[in-house]
Structure 1
């Protein structure tokens, strides 16, 4: 059985073939979780979103259109599920919705494995000098301000700014364009002018 064939896979899903469903899970679960994480920034929430999508797909398997790309359908379903859950917690303001739409657009146009790109970005972050890495993650991952980090580490805000500048300089040299885009999606980091321009263009 060639489940790599989109039409055949869709037909087998429609017929309720559990092996087709297992193939779909094995092929896309981790990738979709990585994608959901760029939206939610929460590993637990990301898994919940993806699990809900797979349950919904299996429950409505007879409605699958074999002429449509299952991959695109899965990613779009994860995006829609995220928006639905997000709305339950807070209103989706215009600029936030535009940001999420830009994430969706970037992913649709990324041929590489999103999970691998995220891992490569995290690998480069982990290569930063220890203090530089600690300050970068406290700011970009934990959301602490420079002043809060200053009080936490008992160092001056000027020292923190120096480490952040150094982190951006190192990452700018190490990451290619798509990885810089992933860095922005994960941490909101505009490492370069080109990345900022790219993002603004996507938001128009």
Structure 2
């Protein structure tokens, strides 16, 4: 089936045309995004989001290149959006981390010790896996990739667990020091 015919049927809501498009390009697109991200789950998510977008916008799609080029470029752009979002999230977590360090660094020694004890108490309250990952990252100074390999989990899981720990600490640290 030609691309023009496929697009025409797709715009009319033909699910067979959509299925044909999906089955033709899904694996190629997943492999392409995997080469960029080295993350199977992320590559599948990005490709699926792209196909959902195409289906939802099928009536207004304006494709001026080949369909194949459009799909690859759309997936690439979604990947870039994901990278930018993760960068902003990482920057935010970094700020929380520095806020915690700042709060505990510039106090009198006795206040400093009290705060450290309270922070340690909060760390002990973290869920076991979250606490284990947080300790490996912040106290053992291991990189996310090292932790992921050591625990047999994805880097994304490490990032999420560190994020949860920092958010928990940030929310609860204020309760201690009001």
TM score, norm. by length of structure 1: 0.42
Which has more radius of gyration? 2
Relative contact order: is structure 1 or structure 2 higher (C-alpha 8 Å, sep ≥ 6)?
1
The TM-score with structure 2 as length reference comes to 0.48
The answer to which structure has the higher helix fraction is: 2
